[in-house]
With several copies, the nearest count.
Chain A
Amino acid sequence: MSAEWSADEMMTVAAARQLRDGTACFVGIGLPSTAANLARATHAPRLVLIYESGCLGAKPDRLPLSIGDGILADTADAVVSVPEVFNYWLQPGNIDVGFLGGAQLDRYGNINTTAIGGDYGDPKVRLPGAGGAPEIAASCREVIVIMRQSPRSFVERVDFVTSFGYGTGSGDRERLGLRGAGPQVVITDLGVLRPDPATQELVLTELHPGATVEQASAATGWPLRVADDLRTGEPPTGSELSVLRALKAATGGSRSVAGA
């Protein structure tokens, strides 16, 4: 890693780069919101940010403090009720990209934000729960996941499927009648994983500058497959870094991610 930028900054920049201008993006708070706002402030000025609080087309000039920060309502094209944002905007497949984080992710892109260890009725760690994620994962045309990678978080099989990725592999989404394509890319602090087109298993396709396959494998709780054409991503540009830092500074200090 370079001393000029942190692994979290690299992860955020890599995630932001995934967002195409002019698309509509359903944004969770924390890392997804930071990355989406970075994208809007750099290469994707017409990115449409949708927050589950009912703000459609929010245009904050700092990072929102919560999913329902007043700046989202003040700058939105439309403010609608929470039932409406889920029923009229998310459910019919009107949103291009869902942007999710999580506490656990497994090799088929399933996400756990509910409970870890023990059993559901008597968990070792109780997490916040589902929120909007199950339906974001199901109904957005595609899903981008952003999560720090570690053997505890990248597991063989999640303890609880809060948000469905590819289930146990190829064909499961189709069998269940899910309309969205599922998690097409997972951005971590070490690199980028994508589902194998045949099996839907997440495969390392890209390393961030300075990160190694060994680090990525060590931070993954399943035998990590590496793509034949593994590439190394571009480091953050000066402009990306300065915009990201300015967004955070305007917010009054960086915020930690919601979760356990």
Chain B
Amino acid sequence: MAEIVSLAEGVAELVNDGDTVALEGFTHLIPFAAGHEIVRQRRRDLELVRMTPDVIYDQLIGMGCARRLVFSWGGNPGVGSLHRFRDAVERGWPAPLEIEEHSHAGMANRYVAGASGLPFAVLRGYTGTDLPRHTDTIKPITCPFTGEVLTAVPALNPDVAIVHAQRADRAGNVQMWGITGVQKEAVLAARRSLVTVEEIVDTLEPMPTQVVLPTWAVSAVALAPGGSHPSYAQGYSVRDNDFYQAWDAISRDRDSFTAWMHKHVLDARRNA
């Protein structure tokens, strides 16, 4: 059964230095508040996993929390580059960043395999691309019935998955709706999970397109209203598009990035 905790407690209990950590949320419901708490608690040597390492991972990478990144698309969506990610890959600042690079289809299937208790997944993927030359977690596999050769990728089983959802009830059952991406798979694939929510309510009114994670499949739930800002939580907030635009300038320079993170993350506590 999920424990209801504060965000600070949740991160302190569930995220350790050196862990493999997946913060998921596909443009919607990105767990920014939890990411900021990881920065505040100064976690180090994390292996960060995420299909779309966007601004939230730019922040974690720039603050030196990560030693490794497993991903399929690293950009500022609708804007351009992630300057902190690029600085780490191109110039090793603030620390070298090892990368393991996949496609979306590959990453999604790696989570599916992890959630399914299987060591690998099979897909039609990567064919003809240069990715298998650089990523050793892409291998051929032969169909035992037809002899056709397909692609195998290993399961992802993070130490911790962190996602943001609209609501939980007091028993810790979690409800999200709208675009729910790969969050169910990430939580089920992980050894431990933390879900931040906009609201804790008495009963979860059913919603079309909902995904429900029963309390017994979640480690901890923390209240974090607005916790997906600058992304959005459908029914609660809209995307702060100006922030994504502004991030380009903030993050382009090491000093302005560091100053911003101190002011807005390290020296501040979000409204959680």
- Whether A and B touch (Cβ < 8 Å) is answered with yes
Residues of A within 8 A of B (CB): 22, 24, 29-30, 48, 52-57, 65-70, 72-74, 77-79, 81-83, 86-88, 90-94, 114, 120-135, 138-139, 160-164, 167, 172-173, 176-179, 252, 255-256, 258-260
Residue-by-residue, is B59-86 near A (CB-CB < 8 Å gives 1, otherwise 0)?
A: 0000000000001111111111110011
Can you report 20 A-B residue pairs in the complex whose CB atoms are below 8 A from each other? Answer: A22-B1, A24-B216, A65-B241, A66-B78, A70-B178, A72-B179, A77-B173, A81-B185, A82-B181, A87-B109, A88-B188, A122-B90, A125-B90, A134-B103, A134-B129, A135-B103, A161-B130, A164-B129, A178-B127, A259-B75
- A130-B72 in contact given A68-B181, A69-B239 (Cβ < 8 Å): yes
Q: Is the CB of A256 within 8 A of B75?
A: no
Contact of B108 among A79, A82, A120 (CB under 8 A): A82
| CB neighbors of A among B229-251 (8 A) | 232, 234, 238-239, 241
- Shortest A129–chain B CB gap in Å is 5
Contacts of B72 in A (CB 8 A): 129-131
Question: Would B214 and A86 count as touching, CB distance under 8 A?
Answer: no
CA distance A134 to B138 in the complex (A): 14
Contact B27 A69 (CB under 8 A): yes
Majority SS of interface residues in chain A? Answer: loop
Across the interface, do B179 and A54 meet the contact criterion of CB distance under 8 Å? yes
Q: How far is the CB of B149 from chain A (nearest CB, A)?
A: 8
Interface assignment of B164: CB less than 8 Å from any CB of chain A: no
**Distance A255 CA – B182 CA, assembled complex (angstroms):** 26
Query: Complex Cα distance A52/B27, Å?
Result: 11
The 10 A-B pairs with the shortest beta carbon distances in the complex, nearest first, are A68-B27, A92-B117, A164-B128, A128-B75, A131-B73, A78-B212, A86-B105, A83-B108, A130-B103, A135-B105
Max count, chain A CB within 10 A of own CB: residue among B112, B115, B128: B128
Cα A139 to Cα B123 in complex, Å, equals 11
Chain B residue at minimal CB-CB distance from A77 = B214
CB distance from B206 to the nearest CB of A (A): 10
- B93 beta carbon closer than 8 Å to chain A: no
Q: Tell yes or no: B124 within 8 A of A by CB.
A: yes
Q: How far is the CB of A198 from chain B (nearest CB, A)?
A: 20
Q: Is B180 an interface residue (CB 8 A)?
A: yes
Give every chain B residue within 8 A of A167 (Cβ-Cβ): 128
Selected contact of B27 from candidates A53, A56, A176, CB within 8 Å: A53
Say how far B145's CB is from chain A's closest CB, in angstroms. Answer: 16
Interface membership of B51, Cβ < 8 A? yes
Check if B102 is an interface residue, CB within 8 A of chain A.
Answer: yes
B 119-144 binary contact with A (CB < 8 Å = 1; else 0)? 00001111111110110000000000
Contact B111–A83 (Cβ < 8 Å) = yes
A125 to B130, CA, bound (A): 17
**Chain B residues positioned under 8 Å from A252 (CB to CB):** 241
Q: Which residues of the partner chain B approach A178 to less than 8 Å between Cβ atoms?
A: 127-128
Contact of A68 with B28 at beta-carbon distance under 8 Å, contacts A55-B179, A114-B101, A129-B73 already known: yes
Interface string of B176-198 (1 = CB under 8 A from A): 00111110110010000000000
In the assembled complex, the Cα of A177 lies from the Cα of B129 at a distance in Å of 13
Question: Which chain B positions have C-beta within 8 A of A163?
Answer: 129
Question: Are B104 and A128 interface neighbours, CB within 8 A?
Answer: no
Closest Cβ of chain B: how far from A158's Cβ, in Å?
A: 9
- Is B26's CB under 8 angstroms from A53's CB? yes
Q: Is the CB of B27 within 8 A of A260?
A: no
Residue B148 is within 8 A (CB to CB) of chain A in the complex: yes
Q: Which chain B positions have C-beta within 8 A of A129?
A: 71-75, 101
12 new A-B pairs (CB below 8 Å) besides A66-B77, A132-B103, A176-B127?
A81-B182, A83-B112, A91-B124, A92-B117, A120-B133, A123-B90, A125-B90, A126-B90, A129-B75, A134-B127, A138-B124, A178-B128
Closest to B234 in A: A70
Contact partners of B28 in chain A: CB under 8 A: 53, 68, 70, 73
